[in-house]
């Protein structure tokens, strides 16, 4: 059995495992991929001390940092369940493999929220996408929509406006939640329209690719159509915590409730990063919370 098993290979999980390994305690890391959401992004300009880097580069650096230590890294594995096994925690992967550890650090991150409207799944990767940085260039010169007027939606729209022909941002509410500075930037762009109080009801297509979308104007109740070839869905993140129901306390958003040391409702389980109640979902924050959870777990282990 490991002293500590880290679940998740994003910035939080990698930071946690480097910190526990540096304490000289046996550390395992199980993850379906190393880098997490960092792999889905391109330009990163707020990873402090590095004025500019790119997702794949940072993900490779995370992987390399892991290999500087004796960490048993198990990639390509998804954890399906966690149970008590005497004094240990038993972790079972989707393939049925089992791992045991005295303590766990959960750092499973988050993923994009879906609209759950007709056409969204059907046209996924045929015009419907969640990753502007990955897929923006595919829509060079074309008309696209961005669903969501929060920070991620507005950032996506600003990025896309430089690549695609025209961007329409659809916001469900009658106000935008994005930071003022981002909204100002968005409104200054000549090829961007903003539609407020718009509830997207369907993604339209010709069977092969997206041709448009339908939305309800929530003020007039009218159904309207927008001709676009791309739909970028940017309506928030969902924590990857489905398998944790009944294992640790989750809040109403299904985030793992953590204290200042990364501790959860189970004294042998710590957690870090986007999967937790930590309000700011950022790389530096995730790394910091990974370090916190590792030190929290180490402190707890020497007190028993
Ligand atoms: P994640 O990065 O989500 O990593 C979670 C890990 O857990 C992954 O390895 C995943 O494979 C694994 N996992 C999940 N479930 C399981 C399971 N059941 N079993 C095993 N493994 C599992 N932040 C910034 O600071 N600056 C930016 O410029 C920036 N741009 C972004 C752009 C995009 C497009 C996206 C999507 C995010 C961006 N972020 C940015 C946010 C940043 O990427 C996240 O805050 C950060 O990656 C969170 O780290 P994490 O380790 O908590 O989770």
Per-residue pLDDT tens digits for 193-223:
999 999 999 999 999 999 999 999 999 999 9
Binned at pLDDT 50, 70 and 90, residue 254 comes out as very high
User: Residues of the chain with pLDDT > 70: what percent?
Assistant: 100
Q: Compute the average pLDDT of residues 229-240.
A: 95
- Residue 273 CB less than 6 A away from ligand 1: yes
- Residue 73 CB less than 6 A away from ligand 1: no
Binned at pLDDT 50, 70 and 90, residue 44 comes out as confident
* Probe residue for ligand 1, chosen from 28, 30, 37, 290 as the CB with the greatest number of ligand atoms within 8 Å: 37
- Ligand 1 center–CA 11 separation, angstroms: 7
pLDDT for the residue 185? 97
* Probe residue for ligand 1, chosen from 5, 6, 7, 8 as the CB with the greatest number of ligand atoms within 8 Å: 8
pLDDT for the residue 130? 86
Closest residue (by CA) to atom 8 of ligand 1?
36
What pLDDT, in 10s, does the model give residues 118-133? 999 999 889 999 888 7
Binned at pLDDT 50, 70 and 90, residue 237 comes out as confident
- Ligand 1 center–CA 268 separation, angstroms: 23
- Residue 211 CB less than 6 A away from ligand 1: no
Closest ligand 1 atom to the C-alpha of 13?
51
Q: Compute the average pLDDT of residues 233-243.
A: 94
- Ligand 1 center–CA 13 separation, angstroms: 10
* Probe residue for ligand 1, chosen from 6, 9, 10 as the CB with the greatest number of ligand atoms within 8 Å: 10
Closest residue (by CA) to atom 41 of ligand 1?
282
Least confident span in 3-12, 26-35, 129-138, 259-268: 129-138
What's the CA gap between 56 and 62, in Å, rounded? 10
- Residue 20 CB less than 6 A away from ligand 1: no
Q: What angle do CA 117, 120, 125 make, to 5 degrees?
A: 170
What pLDDT, in 10s, does the model give residues 129-149? 988 877 888 899 999 999 999
pLDDT for the residue 42? 72
Binned at pLDDT 50, 70 and 90, residue 112 comes out as confident
Of 125 and 29, the structure prediction assigns the larger pLDDT to 29
Pair 80, 9: CB distance under 8 Å: no
pLDDT for the residue 71? 98
ipTM greater than 0.90, yes or no? yes
- Residue 29 CB less than 6 A away from ligand 1: no
- Report pTM: 0.82
**Does the pLDDT at position 236 exceed 90?**
no
- Residue 11 CB less than 6 A away from ligand 1: yes
What pLDDT, in 10s, does the model give residues 59-83? 999 999 999 999 999 999 999 999 9
- Ligand 1 center–CA 169 separation, angstroms: 24
DSSP letters, the chain, are -EEEEEE--SHHHHHHHHHHHHTT--EEEEESSSSGGGGG--EE--BTTBS-EEHHHHHHHHHHHHTTS-EEEEES--EEEEEEETTEEEEEETTS-EEEEEEEEE---EEEPP---TTTTTTBTTTEES-HHHHGGGGBTSEEEEE--SHHHHHHHHHHHTTBSEEEEE-SSSS--S-HHHHHHHHT-TTEEEE-SEEEEEEEESSSSEEEEEEEETTT--EEEEE-SEEEE-S-EEES-GGGTTTS-B-TTSPBP--TTSB-SSTTEEE-GGGBS-S---HHHHHHHHHHHHHHHHHHHHT-
- Ligand 1 center–CA 147 separation, angstroms: 21
Q: Compute the average pLDDT of residues 245-273.
A: 97
């Amino acid at each position: 059995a490991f002293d500590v098993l880290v679940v998740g290979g994003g910035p939080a999980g990698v930071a946690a495992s480097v910190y526990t390994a540096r304490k000289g305690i046996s550390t395992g890391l199980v993850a379906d991929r190393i880098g997490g959401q960092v792999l889905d992004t391109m330009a990163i300009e707020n990873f402090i001390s590095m004025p500019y880097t790119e997702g794949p580069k940072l993900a490779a650096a995370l992987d390399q940092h892991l290999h500087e230590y004796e960490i048993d890294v198990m990639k390509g594995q998804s954890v399906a369940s966690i149970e008590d096994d005497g004094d240990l925690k038993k972790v079972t992967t989707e393939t049925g493999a089992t791992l045991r550890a005295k303590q766990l650090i959960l750092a499973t991150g988050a993923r994009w929220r879906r609209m759950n409207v007709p056409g969204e799944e059907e046209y996924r990767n045929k015009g419907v996408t969640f990753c502007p940085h990955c897929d923006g260039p595919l829509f060079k010169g074309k008309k696209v929509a961005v669903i969501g007027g929060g920070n991620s939606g507005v950032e996506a729209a600003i990025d896309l406006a430089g690549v695609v022909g025209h961007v329409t941002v659809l916001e469900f509410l009658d106000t935008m939640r994005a930071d003022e500075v981002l909204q100002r930037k968005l409104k200054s762009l000549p090829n961007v329209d903003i539609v407020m109080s718009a509830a997207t009801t369907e993604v339209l297509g010709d069977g092969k690719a997206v041709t448009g979308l339908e939305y309800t104007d929530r003020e007039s109740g009218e159904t309207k159509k927008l001709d676009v070839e791309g739909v970028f869905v940017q309506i928030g993140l969902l924590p990857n915590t489905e398998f944790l129901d009944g294992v640790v306390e989750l809040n109403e958003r299904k985030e793992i409730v953590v204290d200042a040391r990364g501790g959860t409702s189970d004294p042998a389980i710590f957690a870090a990063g986007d999967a937790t109640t930590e309000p700011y979902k950022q790389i530096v924050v995730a790394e910091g919370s990974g370090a916190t959870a590792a030190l929290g777990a180490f402190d707890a282990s020497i007190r028993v």
